[in-house]
Amino acid sequence: MNSDIIVSSRIRLARNLRGNKFSSKISQEEAYKIIDEVKAVIEKNDTTSKLGFELNYLKDIPDIEQNILIEQHIISPQLTKNKNESAFMISEDKSIIIMINEEDHLRIQVLNSGLRLEDSLKTANMIDDILEGNLDYAFDKDLGYITSCPTNLGTGLRASTMLHLPALSMTNQLEKILLAISQIGVAVRGVYGEGTKSMGNLYQISNQGTLGAQEETLVERIKQISIQLLEKENSTRQLLMSNNRVYVENEIYRAYGILKNARIIDAQEAMKLLSFIKLGIEVGILENMDNKNIDSLMTKVQENNIQMMLEEGFTKKERDFKRAEILREEI
């Protein structure tokens, strides 16, 4: 149940190179010099050279494909704002991404499924140590790593988990719980991070501040809050199945019926209904369906993925028609 409710873990480290302006102020020439330096370190190191890193310049990637990368959580929306100066390196298994010239010169990101924050931190620190051993990081003995945004000063670390919380949402407990979490220094965001809303009952939680705390402390805090949410979601599912099974079945089979038969459906509704299907699989109501296929569909039905299938010039109505067609075929 761990990887069902806690969908993924992410560690992100923010770093800057001494003697360079922040990313928002550098020229393309200065930006490309940073990209070349990072690329050289990754390719020459014995460990990272074996991970199959590929360098991608944002300027060479069409806008719609950039948006798909955001929907897949491979890059951040911020990286695309500096697309003439930015790039990213991605490992062969797509679990390690080094974003270059995002808000900071370097954003080292490690993604894993389930609750694997410690594993992600270990990998991120390994990459960080290799880069720091060859590049001159901006560091202050009192403030720690110097970052563009003051909230990232110190460790420069963001630890986050993505959670699927449909039972807490169905029982109207979620808003109160997430409000309480936000008041103890933990950020609650939607699927695509800061400034985005939840879709499909998916929520991202992460630490807010990084100054004055050890990396392990920040990670442990997010881990424990994630476990508490997991346990609360689990117990709520059990109560619903014991006391209101017919209600739960009704929501799940209604969702199945709509997805199996709808001719037009927008992304928000599709995500909501796919969340019920995911819940149905996890509580054993829909036994002949695969959770991984639903996770894949949650990405596949996003606006830019649909637009990519249709190419340019299609209206929202035509995208909604195509989305419904995909769902009928795959549900």
Q: What is the pLDDT of residues 171-196, one digit of tens each?
A: 999 889 988 988 888 988 876 555 45
The pLDDT value recorded for residue 189 is 80
Residue 292: partners with Cβ closer than 8 Å, 6 or more residues away: none
pLDDT at 191: 61
pLDDT score of 212: 66
Residue pair 250/187 in contact (Cβ under 8 Å)? The answer is no
Rounded distance, CA 104 to CA 148, Å? Answer: 6
The DSSP call for residue 24 is: G
With b for 16 or more beta-carbon neighbours within 10 A and e for fewer, the 50-70 pattern comes to: ebebebbebeebeeeebbbbb
pLDDT value at position 228? 95
pLDDT tens figures, 219-250: 999 999 999 999 999 999 999 999 999 999 99
Quick one: tokens of 27?
């020229």
Residues 6 or more apart whose Cβ sits within 8 Å of residue 66: 58, 75, 80, 83
For residue 94, how many other CB atoms are within 10 A of its CB?
Answer: 13
Q: Is 31 exposed, middle or buried (0-12, 13-18, 19+ CB in 10 A)?
A: buried
Per-residue pLDDT at 4? 87
- Name residues of the chain where pLDDT drops below 70: 1-3, 191-197, 211-212, 312-313
In angstroms, the CA 254 to CA 202 distance is: 20
Q: 207: how many CB neighbours lie within 10 A of its CB?
A: 21
CA distances from 27 to 15, 19, 22, 232 (A): 18, 14, 10, 49
